[in-house]
A = this chain, B = another copy of it.
């Protein structure tokens, strides 16, 4: 393989990038933005080398304990469970949550062999049993697997006497009712306030 073919193959490993996009990226970099190539290479190496998982919440972190877990100002009564670091980042960007997190790094999917061991359920239960945790917010996805994960975790927490809640389901901000799917409308109706 030539260096160009190798580059195109490597770019195809990026999610959402097929043969055509990878070619376009490679040609663009080579012709118009050579400076971006060593910069991206170094960023990839540095990220691969330095980014590990927070020992406490399992999100991505360059330090053993991430910035959120290390912040004593946050509300220790709340623990929010998410599937991925990306979900956690989305919640943080809302600016409306001040508790701590626990990142599952996956969701239950028995067919793919992903059981409670793979999503760190035992660590979560130990974390939730710590002094001061009053409520575990289960913010897994509203997909079949995310719902199943939330259900299993809620049961395990209930048995241990820990209160758990789920994010509200309802009509997304900015949407016209006519175009919202019926399941969502039904939930929004039954959860009306």
Contact = CB atoms under 8 A, between A and B. Distances in A.
A46 to B, nearest CB: 5
A110 interface: no
Interface of A: 2-4, 6-7, 9-11, 13-16, 21, 23-31, 33-34, 36-48, 50-51, 60, 62, 84-86, 89, 105
B40 A13 contact: yes
Number of chain copies forming the complex: 2
Contacts of A40: 10-11, 13-14, 40-41, 44
A37 B48 contact: yes
Given A37-B44, A37-B48, A60-B30, A16 B6 contact: no
Main SS at interface, chain A: helix
The 4 A-B pairs at the shortest CB distance, nearest first, are namely: A10-B43, A13-B36, A41-B41, A37-B48
Contact of A38 (B34, B48, B60): B48
A28 B84 CA distance: 10
Contact of A43 (B9, B23, B45): B9
A38 B24 CA distance: 21
Contacts of A23: 86, 89
B7 A47 contact: yes
Contacts of A21: 16
Given A23-B86, A30-B60, A85-B27, A3 B50 contact: yes
27 contacts: A3-B46, A3-B47, A3-B50, A6-B43, A6-B46, A6-B47, A7-B43, A7-B44, A9-B43, A10-B36, A11-B14, A13-B36, A14-B28, A14-B29, A14-B40, A16-B24, A16-B25, A23-B86, A23-B89, A24-B86, A29-B44, A30-B85, A37-B45, A38-B44, A40-B44, A41-B44, A41-B48
Contacts of A15: 24-25, 28
Contacts of A14: 11, 25, 28-29, 36, 40
